[in-house]
């Protein structure tokens, strides 16, 4: 509510001047008071403008505290960087290992895939392959044993022996059992070996997979010092901005305090005059 409205509330609508005039020196004092009042408003505007207005402290601090993109380059050539969309401000981070590391990574990941594929394969065929290889290794000795047995049986005139109890001779049964046990053992070993091999392939795949991400991990590890440096820089800038803001605000505070004093003075003078002029009117 401005002074006129105040006066019109006093003297009725459209009677502010009359009221003021009637009040004598009331007008001059009122003008002065109005001026002090208006100054206070200006001071507020100035404070707002100084702190939040365009080019104000907030804007300046905003510029001062804005994120500063940075890049990190590892010792092996890996790089970490970032870009900001000028329109949306969206940040985009790029991380790139060196070509050698990429090749290594591709190779290891490919190997990991290969091992995983192998580990994922059914083991029965592998078991059979291993069993056949074991049998191939065992067969010559078994053949030698069989020939020795045959020779011994022939020397003892027992090649033609057939028994209900043993099938052939006890020795032939023993050899057959031994060979069959060896065969069974080989089969079980083949199964066990194939399982272990599958597990080992999975482990190798895992290892390869892990190894494939080592350059990236190393790059990420290499980021830490860069990020620390950037953070320190950001902290420094933040501290600078804080100091600037405090200083700016202090200056503005002083200015506002001065203006507020001036306005208080004008308002006080005007008030006194008015009280004096309007004292008779209402007195």
Partner 1 sequence: MAQEIKSITLVAPAFKGINTEDSPLAQDPSFAESADNAIIDKRGRIAARKGLSVLTTDKTELGTGNLRAIKEFRDNLGNTKIFSVGNNKILSGTTVLADETPGSYTITSDNWKIVNFNDNVYFFQRGYEPLVYNNTGGAVVKLSTVAGAAGVVAAMYGNEVLAAYGRLWTADFTTDKSTVYWSDLLIGHDWTGGTSGSINLSKVWPDGFDEIVALAAHNNLLIIFGKHSIVVYEGADSPATMRLVDTIAGVGCVDRDTVQYTGTDVLFLSQTGLRSFGRTVQEKSMPMSSLSGTITTDIIRLIRETGEIFRSVYHPEESFYLITFTNQAITFCFDVRGTLENGAYRVTRWPGTGFTCYGRKDNGDLLIGSRFGIGQYTGYKDNSLPYRFKYFSPELTFGDASKLKFLKRLRPTLVGGSGADAIFTWSYDFGTLFSSAEVGIRSQGRSDFNLSEYPVYSELSGYGISSTGDVDIGEVVVVNKFLGDFTSAPTIGSGGGALLEGDSYFDTAADIFYVYISSAFVDLDTLVPASVGEFSDGELVSRNAINANGSGSTITIGLEADINGHELSIQDINVLALIGKTL
Q: Which residues bind partner 1 (CB under 8 A)?
A: 154-166, 169-171
Task: Kindly state the smallest distance separating residue 177's Cβ from partner 1, in Å.
Answer: 15
Nearest C-alpha neighbor of 71 from the set 101, 94, 97: 94
Task: Kindly state the smallest distance separating residue 152's Cβ from partner 1, in Å.
Answer: 9
Give the chain's largest Cα–Cα span: 160
Q: What tokens were used for 100?
A: 């050698």
Helix (H) or strand (E) holding 84: strand 79-84
69-75: which pairs have CB atoms within 8 A and are 24 or more residues apart? 70/226, 70/229, 70/230, 70/233, 71/226, 72/219, 72/222, 72/223, 72/225, 72/226, 72/227, 73/222, 74/98, 74/218, 74/219, 74/222, 75/222
Which CB atom, from 108 or from 169, has the smaller least distance to partner 1?
Answer: 169
Nearest C-alpha neighbor of 258 from the set 31, 29, 35, 39: 39
Contact 40, 263 (CB under 8 A): yes
**DSSP reduced 3-state for 80:** strand
Which CB atom, from 56 or from 171, has the smaller least distance to partner 1?
Answer: 171
Separation between Cα atoms, residue 261 and residue 46, nearest integer Å: 15
Which CB atom, from 58 or from 173, has the smaller least distance to partner 1?
Answer: 173
Q: In what order do the strands lie in the sheet with 91-96?
A: 72-73, 79-84, 91-96
Task: Kindly state the smallest distance separating residue 180's Cβ from partner 1, in Å.
Answer: 19
Which CB atom, from 25 or from 173, has the smaller least distance to partner 1?
Answer: 173
Which CB atom, from 163 or from 236, has the smaller least distance to partner 1?
Answer: 163
**Residue 263: HSE in the Cβ half-sphere, 13 Å Cα cutoff:** 17
Which residues, at least 6 apart from 161, have a Cβ–Cβ distance to it below 8 Å? 153, 168, 169
Task: Kindly state the smallest distance separating residue 168's Cβ from partner 1, in Å.
Answer: 9
Which CB atom, from 81 or from 168, has the smaller least distance to partner 1?
Answer: 168
Task: Kindly state the smallest distance separating residue 112's Cβ from partner 1, in Å.
Answer: 60
Task: Kindly state the smallest distance separating residue 139's Cβ from partner 1, in Å.
Answer: 25
Task: Kindly state the smallest distance separating residue 158's Cβ from partner 1, in Å.
Answer: 6
Which CB atom, from 41 or from 167, has the smaller least distance to partner 1?
Answer: 167
Task: Kindly state the smallest distance separating residue 130's Cβ from partner 1, in Å.
Answer: 37
Which CB atom, from 70 or from 166, has the smaller least distance to partner 1?
Answer: 166
Residue 171 CB neighbour total at 10 angstroms: 15
């Amino acid at each position: 509510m401005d002074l006129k409205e105040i006066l019109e509330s006093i003297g009725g609508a459209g009677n502010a001047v009359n009221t003021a005039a009637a009040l004598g020196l009331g007008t001059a004092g009122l003008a002065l008071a109005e001026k002090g009042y208006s100054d206070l408003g200006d001071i507020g505007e100035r404070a707002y403008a100084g702190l939040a207005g365009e080019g104000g402290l907030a804007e300046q601090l905003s510029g001062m505290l804005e994120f500063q993109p940075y890049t990190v380059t590892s010792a092996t050539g890996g790089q970490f960087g970032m870009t900001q969309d000028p329109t949306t401000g969206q940040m985009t981070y790029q991380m790139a290992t060196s070509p050698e590391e990429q090749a290594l990574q591709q190779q290891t990941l490919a190997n990991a895939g290969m091992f995983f594929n192998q580990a994922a394969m059914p083991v029965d065929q592998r078991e059979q392959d291993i069993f056949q290889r074991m049998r191939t290794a065992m067969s010559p000795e078994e053949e030698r044993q069989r020939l020795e047995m045959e020779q011994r049986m022939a020397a003892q005139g027992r090649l033609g022996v057939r028994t209900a109890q043993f099938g052939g001779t006890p020795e032939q049964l023993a050899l057959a059992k031994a060979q069959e046990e060896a065969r069974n053992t080989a089969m079980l070993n083949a199964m066990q070996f194939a399982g272990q091999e599958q597990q080992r392939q999975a482990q190798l795949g895992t290892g390869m997979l892990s190894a494939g991400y080592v350059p990236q991990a190393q790059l990420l590890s290499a980021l830490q010092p860069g990020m620390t440096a950037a953070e320190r820089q950001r902290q420094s800038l933040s501290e600078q901005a804080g100091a600037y803001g405090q200083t700016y605000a202090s200056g503005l505070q002083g200015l506002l305090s001065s203006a507020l004093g001036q306005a208080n003075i004008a308002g006080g003078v005007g008030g006194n005059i008015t009280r004096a002029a309007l004292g008779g009117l209402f007195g």
